[in-house]
Amino acid sequence: MAIDVVVNQRHLQIQLKQLETVWHTVINGYNLSQAATVLHTSQSSLSKHIAALENQLKTEVFIRQGKRLTGLTTMGTALMPHIESIFAEIRTIENLSLDFNNPNIGTLTIATTHTQARYVLPKVVKKFKDRFPKVNLILQQADPETIAQMVIRGQADIGIATESLLHNNYLRCYRYYDWTHRVIVPSDHELAGLESIDLPTLASYPIVTYHGGFTGRGAIDKTFEAAGLEPDIVLAALDADVISTYVGLGLGIGIIAEMAFEPSHYQNLTAIPVDHFGRFTSWMAVRDDAEIRQYGRAFMELCQKQFDN
């Protein structure tokens, strides 16, 4: 994104390059060296842009410890939403131009959790690549909060997750699909064959489930706590494959998302439906103030059609 525009006002002469420097410095963790690499320039050049902007504003934008930038000042914090909006508009204009000239060529970055990438999206990705073979598709895996921030900061075009996306005013969300949890046990386990399991029974067995913050783990903890139960979580993992592996080894019973149970892959395990932990919705999100490429919208349409009856 080449930017060489000067905004002239009565008291200010701000270059968009200066605002771009602030933006990339923040989203790269205040690491000027890393921001310089992303922008294909030198660290000293970025320092000059920051100094010039602070000179125009007559106040500092960044908090400093020696030569290191460690955070945003009050002024910097106030500036960031406006800077992000400016570059969202620039990306929209850029996308309009690209769609007009090369509608089927480009890059689409999807930020999502491991569960979505591993168990839900493969069929969508296959259909998308068949339809748009010249689009470079990137799947970035992260926790739900990071996914939201990646979309807000323009590091991802679309975010897909269950938690966090709905609670952000910068995002426009679309329903993807609903899901619940399943209990998995070895096929020869004493619980195998049951159609349901009550909470006290679940809490009486060692449990293998997700790490905190992922795939409804918060709801699992709250449900046991509300019932006055203290489950024995013997292992927490990010990946249902890992959970399934250790359940198969007899470490405990597993609690995983229903879409993550693959009976053909783990033929030694069986799944039991549970509704104690609630019903969840996975959402897709884009920035509320910017439009994505046409093929990005096509990707979302494929997702929404995936679970149509």
**Residues pairing with 62 in the sheet:** 72
**192 touches 269 (CB < 8 A):** no
Q: 3.30.420.40, 3.40.50.150, 3.40.190.10, 1.10.760.10: which CATH number matches 103-177+281-305?
A: 3.40.190.10
Give dist(CA 141, CA 17) in Å, integer.
Answer: 30
Could you list the beta-strand ranges (E) of 134-279.
135-141, 158-161, 171-179, 181-186, 206-210, 232-237, 253-257, 269-273
Q: What is the DSSP letter of 248?
A: H
**Delimiting residues of CATH 3.40.190.10 domain(s) in the chain:** 103-177+281-305, 181-278
pLDDT higher than threshold 60 for residue 309: no
CATH class, 181-278 region = alpha beta
CA-only gyration radius of the chain, Å:
24
3-class DSSP state of 284: strand
Give dist(CA 275, CA 267) in Å, integer.
Answer: 23
> CB neighbours of 241 closer than 8 A, spacing ≥ 6?
118
Per-residue confidence (pLDDT) for residue 7, from 0 to 100: 56
For the stretch 217-264, pLDDT in tens is 999 999 999 999 999 999 999 889 999 999 999 999 999 999 999 888
For the stretch 160-193, pLDDT in tens is 998 678 877 789 999 999 999 999 999 999 999 8
Q: In angstroms, how far is CA 212 from the centroid of its own chain?
A: 16
pLDDT bracket for residue 152 (50, 70, 90): confident
Give dist(CA 303, CA 239) in Å, integer.
Answer: 22
pLDDT higher than threshold 90 for residue 282: yes
- Concatenating the DSSP letter of every residue in 204-244 gives TSEEEEEPTTSTTHHHHHHHHHHTT---EEEEEES-HHHHH
Per-residue confidence (pLDDT) for residue 2, from 0 to 100: 47
**Delimiting residues of CATH 1.10.10.10 domain(s) in the chain:** 6-95
Q: Minimal CA–CA distance to 181: which of 127, 113, 257?
A: 257
- For helices 16-27 and 74-101, the axis angle rounded to 10 degrees is 100
CATH of domain 6-95: 1.10.10.10
**Phi, psi (deg, nearest 5) at residue 254:** -110, 150
Give the per-residue SS3 of 27-50: HCCCCHHHHHHHHCCCHHHHHHHH
| Least trusted range by pLDDT, from 87-96, 112-121, 204-213, 252-261 | 87-96
DSSP percent split of the chain into helix, strand, coil, nearest 5: 40, 25, 35
Mean pLDDT of 60-89: 90
Q: Kindly state the percentage of the chain with pLDDT values over 70.
A: 95
